[in-house]
Amino acid sequence: MERANAWKAACAQARASLKAGERSEARRLARLAARMAPDQEEPWLILAATAAPAASLGYLKQALAINPESARARKGIRWAERRLAESGKAAKQLESEHNAAIALAPQWSNFALLATALLTAAFALFVWFRPAGADEGLRAVSKAAQDQYNAIFATVTPTPTATFTPTNTPTNTPTFTPTNTPTDTPTPTNTPTPTATFTPTNTLPPPPTATPVFELVVPDGIGENERWIDVDLSTQTLRAYEGDELIDLFTISSGRAGTPTVVGTFEVWVKVRIQDMSGPGYYIQDVPWVMYFHGDYGIHGTWWHNNFGTPMSAGCVNMTIADAQWLYSWASVGTVVNVHY
């Protein structure tokens, strides 16, 4: 009874925050309600109201899966799809305007070339058909302009002063005559008797470096046969355990250096069969088998790359679609996810 009241209270506070324009607080409270009551549609409807159109579709589909008769969920899906279509039209309009501007550029270039040609032809006609005396008038105008320029900008040129340059007087330098240097008589050098050369012994190669052994650390509070997930970012692997027994091992792709995967011990707070995902610089449709374990960080299937074993994501844990489907069926809401290096 207390749990039911808790999620309902969280939803009520989330709606109040959303009405007051506090979207981040409303989103936090709605997530809390969804974690406490993932089988209720109300938290998902509030999450959809606080998310971007692409992400809201996933939340609305989750609400509709919980209650297929939900008129609010169906209305919300139509609203989100309409907003996505409008944003797509806006992007196409910008692209069309950009292409039109590029298409006009050659026309303006041709106009500039035509104007230049006309000016050149007019000047040539003037030179050819100029009236008598025009040259003398032009020279007079040019000379007057030059005189005015000199009057304004000319500077006084200083009269150069003669500089005294001394004449070098040669000085006789005596030449030193070298004296004979006696040569030492060479002294015979005794050749030492060669000694035996030391032959090195064979050196044993260093022993091979031992491969580090994976050390299992079971998070606190895990029961003897409880299912939990271990994500090793150093080896880009994910392990599924029941207690301390390894059930399966998978190769993953975690977050890149600029968008690393969060580290810590968490719990799966919601599972979504399929949804669109968006963020700074990306929009991906139909992401399957999604399990969120901390905010927007989740484990999900990946169809847009096959470079597993290398960090590739914006923070989520990427798996192959088959591996993600198996893990989605094996784990449940509340399953512990331990992420570490």
- CA angle 237–32–233, rounded 5-degree value: 15
pLDDT in tens, the chain (341 residues): 556 678 888 899 999 998 998 988 888 888 888 888 888 899 989 988 888 777 777 888 888 889 999 999 898 888 888 887 876 665 566 556 555 544 444 444 455 556 666 766 665 555 455 555 555 554 554 455 455 445 544 444 444 444 444 445 444 544 444 445 454 545 555 555 555 554 555 555 665 554 445 678 899 999 999 999 999 999 999 999 999 999 999 999 999 999 999 999 999 999 999 999 999 989 999 999 999 999 999 999 999 999 999 999 999 999 999 999 999 999 999 999 999 99
Between the two ends of the chain, the Cα-to-Cα distance in Å is: 40
Structure tokens, 46: 């509030």
Residue pair 319/287 in contact (Cβ under 8 Å)? The answer is no
Distance CA 68, CA 81 (A): 18
